[in-house]
Chain A
């Protein structure tokens, strides 16, 4: 039995094709855009070709674009999907921290993986992937290099503004004062981590923490989160696909019925 999870995020489209609710056949990820449907279809072609044309029995959509996903049998919130996907990828995970393009969230899971509480940022971009994107532009450093660059910092500067717009001008002032890019980036990671951990502390942060979403690929943010929370944080494989994986798992539940 094959099921498909589609995560139509604010920034990227992710799909996971799953066999029998246990084995990932294929994953795809593409930058989203105005025409999300076309991007999604490209993603689908990619995963379907890996399954030699076999079509899924059930499809679940999640992410911001879930409402307009016509091919889905059901739409499920990204909170439930991230919880489910993280628990599957990292057995025993009890707290999930997800930082995506437009939002950040912390999810508490019961010992059998059920979502028991969650907290999510408001409309503000602080503490999201968008925050880092804006800073990458200001610093003229590729976002993918942020993690490695921050490793070379000899200290992390204090970024006192949490607002993305104000923090950007703070970064520009720091550059004008010839502060190193490395130290600024380390400071930005510390700022985003402080913001997210403060939010996550509205829940109880357990010892088993999974870090998911696009920003989880940034090792600098992971280290900053560990330092802000005092917990050892694990990033599961393919952290960007956790939501789509959760959706594929929910689709498997439906297909079994």
Chain B
């Protein structure tokens, strides 16, 4: 495998995971779709089911209009469109986790419309710190696991959980390494490869994903770092599948150096420290959280400022899906905290899967010109 093979693979899977799901189904392997990174994937994987991230790529919303008003985010609307149109018909089940209201209602609406499907929601707590949330999350994780055990007809084995946790932790280390190498090789590892690689690992059996990542990353072992003075931009937001933002940053001589996205760093940050249900629960409670969760008033702000400093970030782009209220409510405080550190910010709101207009290009270019 050379670098071009890897790039081709991550591009194809991240843009069209349906093919990946169908190939697993041809091998008679069970596949569960999941809509949120708070679903404890390790447990699903340890039960012999492949978890595949559902992100929603429908470009025109027609079938979903009957189910969601236009003020719901395009992530949920485009996913519903695909479900109604049968794009993911070969899935064995669908998993949700409680985050925002729209996602919660998505679970309810889906369940009502697809009553025969295996659909589960993990009521992961909104408050993450302290003993009470931990006890609640642990009980909820066990309840959730029980329903998966009933589906497979066998209990979770501690050996397979151990093996799954090892594969997942390794995957997190590899993605961390990829992010680190991208800073040194911004040409050989273009910014969009961060996004594509994370989405690829969300859609592929972790052992397979790790094999691809390991081989790609080892090809940089002997290489001299590129001489780069590119301005470093960090993205902050919920989910994103838009590659254009990454490409434009590169085109204008800057780079997306890091991110706080559900399809980025938030997905792979924080290892599982012990391969038990308790250990897995603790990981999901302690990882950098999204805007729909709460640790203390300043926890997200602290995390972002640390990341900005660690990565020497020159500018932050808040990349939001339109109508994403948890992120929009966080925006004023986060913007203020970041700009107080003399780091410029810019807000870009977009619709998932919709082709972007000249405005996106102008905003990106002007932002790079401003921080240069």
- Asked if A77 and B366 sit within 8 Å, CB to CB, the answer is yes
- Dominant SS at the A interface? mixed
Given contacts A64-B358, A79-B369, A115-B369, contact A120 B363 (CB under 8 A): yes
* B27: chain A residues within 8 A (beta carbon): none
* A182: chain B residues within 8 A (beta carbon): none
- Asked if B359 and A116 sit within 8 Å, CB to CB, the answer is no
- Asked if A76 and B344 sit within 8 Å, CB to CB, the answer is no
User: Shortest Cβ distance from B161 into chain A, in angstroms?
Assistant: 46
Query: Is B349 among interface residues, defined by CB-CB distance under 8 A?
Result: yes
Query: Is B20 among interface residues, defined by CB-CB distance under 8 A?
Result: no
Query: Is A168 among interface residues, defined by CB-CB distance under 8 A?
Result: no
- Asked if A120 and B357 sit within 8 Å, CB to CB, the answer is no
- Asked if A118 and B366 sit within 8 Å, CB to CB, the answer is yes
User: Which of B347, B357, B365 interacts with A77 by CB under 8 Å?
Assistant: B365
* B358: chain A residues within 8 A (beta carbon): 64, 102
Query: Is B362 among interface residues, defined by CB-CB distance under 8 A?
Result: yes
The size class of the interface chain B forms with chain A is 10 to 19
- Asked if B370 and A118 sit within 8 Å, CB to CB, the answer is yes
The docked-state distance in angstroms from the alpha carbon of A97 to that of B344 is: 20
Q: Which residue of A lies closest to B335 (CB)?
A: A202
Max chain B C-beta neighbours (<10 A), residue from A76, A103, A118: A118
- Asked if B359 and A123 sit within 8 Å, CB to CB, the answer is yes
* B366: chain A residues within 8 A (beta carbon): 77-80, 115, 118, 120
The size class of the interface chain A forms with chain B is 10 to 19
Q: Which residue of B lies closest to A80 (CB)?
A: B369
- Asked if B359 and A79 sit within 8 Å, CB to CB, the answer is no
The docked-state distance in angstroms from the alpha carbon of A206 to that of B43 is: 56
Within 8 A of A (CB), among B348-366: 349, 357-359, 361-363, 365-366
* A102: chain B residues within 8 A (beta carbon): 358
* A120: chain B residues within 8 A (beta carbon): 359, 362-363, 366
User: Which of B361, B365, B370 interacts with A116 by CB under 8 Å?
Assistant: B370
Q: Which residue of B lies closest to A117 (CB)?
A: B344
Query: Is A218 among interface residues, defined by CB-CB distance under 8 A?
Result: no
The docked-state distance in angstroms from the alpha carbon of A116 to that of B358 is: 21
Residues of A within 8 A of B (CB): 64, 67, 76-80, 102-103, 115-123, 202
In addition to A64-B362, A122-B359, 18 A-B residue pairs with Cβ atoms within 8 Å of each other are: A76-B365, A77-B362, A77-B369, A78-B366, A79-B370, A80-B369, A80-B370, A103-B359, A103-B362, A115-B369, A115-B370, A117-B344, A118-B370, A119-B347, A120-B359, A120-B362, A122-B349, A123-B357
7 contacts between A and B (CB under 8 A): A64-B358, A77-B365, A80-B369, A103-B359, A115-B366, A119-B347, A121-B359
The list of the 9 closest CB pairs from A to B, nearest first, reads A79-B366, A77-B366, A77-B365, A80-B369, A64-B358, A115-B370, A123-B357, A77-B362, A77-B369
